[in-house]
């Protein structure tokens, strides 16, 4: 397993430099004016960053209100009868709720659970799988759609929520059958 960790380390270290190198060299070989092309493309970077600000503020403030007001705990207590039904320990529920809303929040909850229950406990493994198998849906929605000014999101939100629910259910189920 140690080798797997080090292979992963190596991949994540070399991936970006080699990708940059490859594209630049390929461009040069194809006689692209690489420097000019780069600058021309990069110019847009600022605009994209600024363009997503209102969408990101709207989304994060709403999520911030929801978290700070303690609504998360109330939601957890409402949903707690369901956890037994699907084989989820009650302690893992906050993770399931926060995962689509806040990436840093989910990371905090995961680290906390891993610290208190141990990384190799069932619940420690379960939150690890949850973290790895789903994404901060609402952040992605705000940033991606915000960058092109889209407010009518059609089926993206319901489909994204369905995907989140499936990710949580699969994480619980797979953890229970593999490690349970």
82 touching other proteins, by CB under 8 A: no
In terms of CB distance, is 84 or 158 closer to other proteins?
158
Site for other proteins in 46-75 (CB under 8 A): 46, 48-50, 52-53, 56-71, 74
Alpha-carbon distance 165 to 158, whole Å?
11
Per-residue binding string, other proteins, 17-36, x by CB under 8 A, is: --xx--xx-xx-xx-x-x--
Distance CA 114, CA 104 (A): 15
Q: Is 127 exposed, middle or buried (0-12, 13-18, 19+ CB in 10 A)?
A: buried
**Residue of 134, 133, 114 whose CA lies nearest to 122:** 114
CA–CA distance, 39 with 16 (Å, rounded to integer)? 19
Taking residues 94 to 133 in sequence order and writing x for each that binds other proteins by CB under 8 A, - otherwise, the string is: ------x------x--xx--xx--xxx---xx--xx-xxx
Footprint of other proteins on residues 130-159 (CB under 8 A)? 131-135, 137-138, 140-141, 143-145, 147-159
């Amino acid at each position: 397993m140690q080798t797997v960790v080090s292979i992963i380390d190596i991949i994540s270290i070399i991936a970006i430099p080699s990708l940059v190198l490859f594209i630049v060299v390929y461009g040069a070989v194809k006689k692209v004016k690489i420097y000019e092309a780069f600058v021309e493309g990069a110019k847009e970077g600022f605009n994209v960053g600024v363009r997503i600000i209102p969408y990101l503020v709207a989304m994060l403030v709403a999520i911030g209100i929801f978290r700070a007001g303690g609504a998360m705990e109330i939601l957890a207590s409402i949903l707690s009868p369901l956890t037994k039904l699907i084989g989820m320990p009650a302690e893992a529920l906050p993770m399931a709720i926060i995962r689509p809303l806040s990436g840093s929040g989910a990371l905090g909850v995961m680290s906390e659970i891993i610290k208190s229950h141990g990384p190799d406990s069932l619940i420690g493994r379960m939150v690890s799988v949850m973290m790895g198998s789903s994404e901060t849906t609402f952040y992605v929605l705000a940033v991606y759609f915000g960058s092109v000014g889209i407010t009518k999101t059609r089926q993206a939100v319901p489909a994204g929520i369905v995907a989140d629910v499936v990710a949580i259910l699969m994480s619980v189920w797979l953890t229970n059958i593999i490690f349970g």
